[in-house]
Each structure stands twice: as C-alpha cells, then as structure tokens.
C-alpha cells in the first residue's frame, strides 16, 4: 500500500456553516475579547475529559504531566497561541466538531437576529455553541495543531480563513492535546499584549479549573468556589463564577450555596439567571447542573440531578458519595443521586419561595422569565406540588395589569359568600376583559384570575382546589350566583317561546339556548357545558391536532337587554319575522368573534350591512 505522506485534504464547509461564519466575521462586537474566554473554556473541557479518562480507563492516559493551558503572545509579530494537553482531536473529530454547527436551530436564530438588525453579541456566541469561531473576530486565519489522547493517534494540522473551506494535513506532533494559533488583525493587536490577556483572563476565566500560564506564570486562581464556607463567598466572586460557567454577560439574579453533611454529603452552588435564554422552552440547549466528585468534573449537564421543570437553574453539585468512574446509567439509578436530587428540589423551591415572601421584585423578574417551565412541574412532581402551587402568580380582573397575585392572596380577599376560585383563560388580557362572561363578576366585585400564558390551560385547571375551594372557569355554564341573586328567574311563557324560537334558529350551531343569569351589559354570551373542556384548551388541542372537533357551546341570552326586549316584542307580533333570525345569527357570530372563534365569513358583514340599512331607513 502506498504511503500517503503529508497529503493536504481540502474540505468545504456546509452551507449553514458558511452563513454562520459570515455572520460572525461581519458582525460588530462590543466585546471581542470573548474569543479568549471561549478558547479557554474549550481547553478546560478538553482537559476535564482527559482527566476523567485517566481516572476511569486505566493505562489509557499517561498522567505524569500537569494538566494545563499555555498562552503565548508576541506583541512584535502580533501573534497569539493557546495550547492545552487535553484530549485533542482525531481527523474525524476535526471534521465533525470544528466543521459543523453543533446545535440545530442555531442558524434559524442567527438569521432572525440579522433580520431584526440586532447585533450578534457575545452572549449569543456562548449560548449557541459557536464558541471556537469567535476567533474570527480577531484574526483572518487560524491554525489548529492537535493530537488525540487515543492510542495510535496521529497529529493533524487544520487551517482555515473562515471563508468557505478548510484544510487538514497530517503532521508529526509528539504530545497529546491542541494548540490554536493565529496572527491578530491590525485592530485587535492588543490581544498580543501580555497585560491585555491578563486583564481578560481576570475578567472571564478566573474560575477555569486548570491553571492558565502566560510567560510561565500562572495567571488564574484555580479554585473550587463551592468548597468555601458560605459566608466567605462574596457576591462578586459568585457572579464571576456564574459568568464563567454560563457565558452569561450579566450577573445572576441570585444564588444559593449548599453544604450538606449527613445521609448524603454534597456541596452545591446554584444560580438563577436574570433572563431566560432565547427559545428555552422549546429547545433544550442549555446545560443546567454539572456534577463533580470531590472537585473533579464527572458529568457535564447532569440530567438526573433535577427534574425538567427546574432546568433553568445553573451551577455545580459536588459530592463525595459517588465514585469517580460513575457512568450515566449509574447516575440514573443511584439512590445517592435521587437523595441529592430530592434535597436540591426542596432547597431550590424554598429559595424561590423566600424571594416570593421577601423580595417581590426579584421574584417577579424570576417569574416572568421562568414560570412557564416551573408550572409544568405541577403535572410531574406530585411530591412538591403544594410547594409549586404556592409559587404560582397570576393577574386578576381586579388588579392592575402586570400585578401578580398568589392563590393565597386571592383566597384572603374572597367575598364571604364566594364559593369558588374563578378563572378565565385566553390569549390577551384586554380581550379577556371584554369577555361578557366577566360582567357578573365585575358587577359583584369578585376577582377572577385572568390566565394568558398558554401553559396555564394545561396546568391551572389541574389544581382542582385550593384551601378547600374549587377552582372553576367562568366560561362554564354552571356558575354560582351570590345568595342575593339566587331568586328563581321568573321565566314567563312569552320569554320561553322566544327562547324556543332562538333554539330552533341555532339548533345546528349550539347545544342549547338558555336564559342568562350572569349578563349585565351584553345581550348574549357563549359558555361551555359543565363537563366540557375549557375553550382555550380546545383551541390548543386544535392547533396540535387538526382533526380535533370542539364541543358545541351554550348560548346564554340576557332578557333584560334592550335588543332582546325589542326582539321579544317583534316575536309577539310575528313569530316568523326574518329580523329575529338575522339579529340572532348576528349576535351569535358576534359572540364567536369575542371568543376568537369566528371564521372569516362574508355573511357576517353582509348581514350587518342589511341590519344597518334597516336601522337608518
């Protein structure tokens, strides 16, 4: 077999990668220095992996050398290099990891940003796993020399100017690890200055877990912050660590330090971010908690530490109760893990509840960003359900928009004779406020929760009752009236016959027509049968399943309304007058419109015009 020596393989980036690079290279950055944070963070990952391999796969990794990162700069020639002795990369790794966009959805998102004319900033770089490519902010051409830790690996040299292609060639490289080098662009020449590099490391990478050397001098602290006593951790340190861990550019909203000894032993440093990452409900991009065993990282983003509904927190958990070589299968089933997890959940929920009690602004910020996820816990975590229920907040019809009210507060202001906790769900508050079903409650000054988060229709009704009070949608047919309104409605024969006519006209559209006890200003309203689904829920079901057919609704008629009185008079004179049918259909479709369920329909406008012509004759 002929020996292929020093062959240079050329590769073309996939189209999406080209677009991404184009965006990075031609965008404006406010903080170009993040490239350094990204490179250090990648080097730390590679070092963590090799340390883990050394501990778990005996004999695979020679462990005689200190695991470290070395940065070299030359201010005269404006060059920069960063080297690690981590796991390195094979040729396949280079193609798979460096040549492609790691996360689906990244590109869509980036295009959106571009269309909206926003700047593609440094937070996004971290969030979307395009870290390595941030070097193209400061250079025109990058070289990677790398050799994998795996036995028999060869060295490779990767080169690209970030345009359309890259090359890979085999090289002689004696040591395991990766070295990334480049010449800085004129306007980024600062990063070839020692003081500048030091400054950036202090800002972003003080908490790197491996020593970073610059001119043979260690420039970072290498400190497992979570091992300090709680009182010794300053907010500044915590925030620095948070930023290092998450690539977030802002401080965290708050953090919780735990140090537990007893049936399980662990320390944890847990952060709540200020802002939810883009699209975080739909895409599970983000890492949550990293698992350490005695300061050594054993699992990045360990899914078994927290239930899904708490995945908005970030941080580290470090336990001495798990062996270093613990596999994913073991963490999934280990009693130690489930103990740690249940303690963490309780502590985090208590932490949030302390904000709810003592720092409403903070709690509201948290709630606006993350409640959609938190609420899903109601349907999964039955052990902590009551705690989650106490954390819920909603707007109500009696409070200002934006003001959030808990179930406890709602109950404490309930009317003496009020039977249930009421809610109405829909897309927007102003539409809900004009819903005729709210009229009776407004007249009686009874508060109604206005639910506008789509998640609410799945979660809120599932609470069923709170403080022994039933939770009820006011869209339902069987509303309770206050005692003073419970006088039996004296339906005379005339109104009975009118309702019968209405029933006949709408028999294909509604399940019934009944006299309303709740309407004040409106002539008619649509309600759901006692046992049917919440209309908002039906809407969601329809979005998810095109075949879903919603149940027919009940039309309630306000006999005290002037229009109905007029129709009743016409009805007495001529039971079959076409005006009755025309008006009723208009009323019915108007009610559908208010519900957001009126399909575009030319008859609506035509009929309306005819009625107006009659009125203006």
Q: Which residues bind ligand ADP (CB under 6 A)?
A: 38, 42-43, 46, 84, 86-89, 97-98, 102, 129-133, 178
Cα–Cα dist 460/94, whole Å = 49
The least distance separating ligand ADP from the CB of residue 122, rounded to whole angstroms, comes to 13
Helices (H) and strands (E) in the chain, counts: 20, 22
Cα–Cα dist 252/250, whole Å = 6
Structure tokens at 497: 């016959």
Structure tokens at 230: 């709680």
Cα–Cα dist 147/136, whole Å = 23
The least distance separating ligand ADP from the CB of residue 66, rounded to whole angstroms, comes to 16
CB half-sphere exposure, 482, CA atoms < 13 A = 13
The least distance separating ligand ADP from the CB of residue 133, rounded to whole angstroms, comes to 6
Output 136 or 423, the one with its CB closest to ligand ADP: 136
The least distance separating ligand ADP from the CB of residue 325, rounded to whole angstroms, comes to 21
Asked whether the CA dihedral 204, 206, 212, 213 is positive or negative, the reply is: positive
Output 22 or 418, the one with its CB closest to ligand ADP: 22
The least distance separating ligand ADP from the CB of residue 140, rounded to whole angstroms, comes to 18
The least distance separating ligand ADP from the CB of residue 76, rounded to whole angstroms, comes to 26
Which of left, alpha, beta for 447 (phi over 0: left; psi -120 to 50: alpha)?
beta
Output 34 or 479, the one with its CB closest to ligand ADP: 34
| Residue with the shortest CB distance to ligand ADP | 131
* Contact indicator for 346, 384 with CB cutoff of 8 Å: yes
Output 99 or 307, the one with its CB closest to ligand ADP: 99
Which parts of 30-176 are beta strand (E)? Answer: 69-74, 79-84, 139-147, 155-160, 165-171
Structure tokens at 174: 């004696």
The least distance separating ligand ADP from the CB of residue 125, rounded to whole angstroms, comes to 9
Output 286 or 509, the one with its CB closest to ligand ADP: 286
Output 179 or 553, the one with its CB closest to ligand ADP: 179
Output 129 or 155, the one with its CB closest to ligand ADP: 129
The least distance separating ligand ADP from the CB of residue 98, rounded to whole angstroms, comes to 5
Output 87 or 188, the one with its CB closest to ligand ADP: 87
Output 103 or 606, the one with its CB closest to ligand ADP: 103
The least distance separating ligand ADP from the CB of residue 455, rounded to whole angstroms, comes to 29
Cα–Cα dist 292/481, whole Å = 58
Q: Are strands 289-293 and 296-299 parallel, antiparallel or unpaired?
A: antiparallel
Residue 17 φ/ψ, nearest 5 degrees: -65, -40
The least distance separating ligand ADP from the CB of residue 86, rounded to whole angstroms, comes to 5
Greatest alpha-carbon pair distance for the chain in Å reads: 106
- Other CB atoms closer than 10 Å to residue 206's CB: what's the count? 19
Asked whether the CA dihedral 382, 386, 388, 389 is positive or negative, the reply is: positive
Cα–Cα dist 144/72, whole Å = 14
- Other CB atoms closer than 10 Å to residue 572's CB: what's the count? 11
The least distance separating ligand ADP from the CB of residue 470, rounded to whole angstroms, comes to 49
Output 41 or 516, the one with its CB closest to ligand ADP: 41
The least distance separating ligand ADP from the CB of residue 131, rounded to whole angstroms, comes to 3
* Contact indicator for 276, 305 with CB cutoff of 8 Å: no
Cα–Cα dist 372/391, whole Å = 12
Asked whether the CA dihedral 373, 374, 377, 379 is positive or negative, the reply is: negative
* Contact indicator for 14, 98 with CB cutoff of 8 Å: no
The least distance separating ligand ADP from the CB of residue 460, rounded to whole angstroms, comes to 37
Output 38 or 456, the one with its CB closest to ligand ADP: 38
Output 77 or 97, the one with its CB closest to ligand ADP: 97
**Which residues partner with 290 through β-bridges?**
316
Cα–Cα dist 246/538, whole Å = 39
* Contact indicator for 143, 133 with CB cutoff of 8 Å: no
Output 43 or 567, the one with its CB closest to ligand ADP: 43
Nearest to 418 by CA among 372, 379, 370, 470: 470
């Amino acid at each position: 077999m002929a020996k292929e020596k020093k062959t240079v393989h050329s590769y073309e980036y996939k189209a999406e990668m080209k677009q991404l690079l184009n965006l990075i290279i031609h965008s404006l950055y406010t903080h170009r220095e993040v490239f350094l944070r990204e490179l250090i963070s990648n080097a730390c990952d590679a070092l963590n992996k090799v340390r883990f391999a050394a501990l778990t796969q005996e004999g695979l990794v020679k462990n005689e050398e200190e695991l470290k990162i070395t940065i070299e700069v030359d201010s005269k020639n404006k060059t920069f290099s960063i080297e690690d002795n981590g796991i390195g990369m094979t040729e396949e790794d280079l193609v798979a990891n460096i040549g492609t966009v790691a996360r689906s959805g990244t590109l869509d998102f980036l295009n959106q940003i571009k269309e909206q004319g926003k700047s593609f900033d440094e937070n996004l770089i971290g969030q979307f796993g395009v870290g390595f490519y941030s070097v193209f902010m400061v250079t025109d051409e990058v070289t990677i020399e790398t050799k994998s830790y795996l036995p028999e690996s060869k060295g490779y040299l990767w080169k690209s100017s970030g345009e359309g292609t890259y090359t890979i060639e085999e090289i002689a490289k004696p040591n395991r690890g990766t070295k990334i080098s480049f010449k800085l662009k004129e306007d980024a020449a600062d990063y070839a200055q020692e003081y500048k590099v030091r400054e950036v490391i202090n800002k972003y990478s003080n908490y790197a877990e491996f020593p970073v050397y610059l001119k043979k001098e260690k420039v970072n602290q290498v400190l497992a912050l979570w091992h300090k006593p709680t009182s010794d951790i300053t907010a500044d340190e915590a925030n620095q660590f948070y930023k290092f861990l998450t690539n977030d550019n802002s401080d965290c909203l708050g953090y919780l330090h735990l140090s537990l000894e007893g049936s399980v032993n662990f320390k944890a440093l847990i952060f709540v971010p200020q802002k939810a990452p883009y699209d975080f409900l739909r895409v599970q991009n983000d890492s949550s908690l990293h698992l350490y065993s005695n300061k050594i990282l054993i699992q990045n983003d360990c899914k078994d530490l927290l239930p899904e509904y708490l995945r908005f927190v970030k941080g580290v958990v470090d336990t001495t109760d798990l062996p270093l070589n613990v596999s994913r299968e073991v963490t999934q089933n280990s009693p130690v893990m489930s103990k740690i997890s249940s303690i963490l959940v309780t502590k985090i929920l208590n932490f949030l509840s302390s904000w709810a009690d003592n720092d409403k602004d903070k709690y509201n910020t948290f709630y606006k960003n993350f409640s959609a996820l938190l609420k899903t816990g109601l349907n999964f975590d039955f052990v902590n359900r009551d705690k989650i229920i106490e954390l819920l907040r909603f707007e109500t019809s009696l409070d200002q928009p934006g003001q959030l009210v808990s179930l406890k507060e709602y109950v404490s202001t309930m009317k003496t004779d009020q039977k249930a906790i009421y809610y109405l769900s829909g897309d927007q508050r102003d539409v809900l406020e004009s819903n005729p079903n709210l009229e009776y409650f407004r007249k009686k000054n009874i508060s109604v929760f206005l639910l506008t988060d789509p998640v609410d229709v799945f979660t809120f009704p599932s609470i069923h009752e709170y403080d022994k009070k039933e939770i009820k949608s006011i869209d339902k047919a069987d509303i309770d009236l206050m005692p003073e309104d419970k006088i039996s409605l004296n339906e005379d024969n005339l109104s009975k016959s009118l309702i019968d006519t209405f029933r006949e006209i709408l028999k294909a559209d509604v399940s019934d027509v009944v006299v309303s006890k709740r309407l004040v200003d409106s002539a008619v309203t649509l309600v759901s049968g006692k046992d049917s689904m919440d209309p908002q829920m039906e809407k969601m079901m329809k979005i998810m399943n095109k075949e879903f057919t919603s149940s027919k609704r009940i039309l309630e008629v306000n006999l005290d309304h002037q229009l109905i009185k007029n129709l009743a008079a016409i009805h007495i004179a001529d039971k079959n007058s076409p005006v009755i049918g025309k008006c009723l259909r208009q009323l019915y479709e108007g009610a559908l419109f208010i519900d957001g369920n009126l399909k575009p329909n030319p008859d609506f406008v035509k009929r309306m015009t005819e009625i107006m012509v009659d009125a203006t004759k």
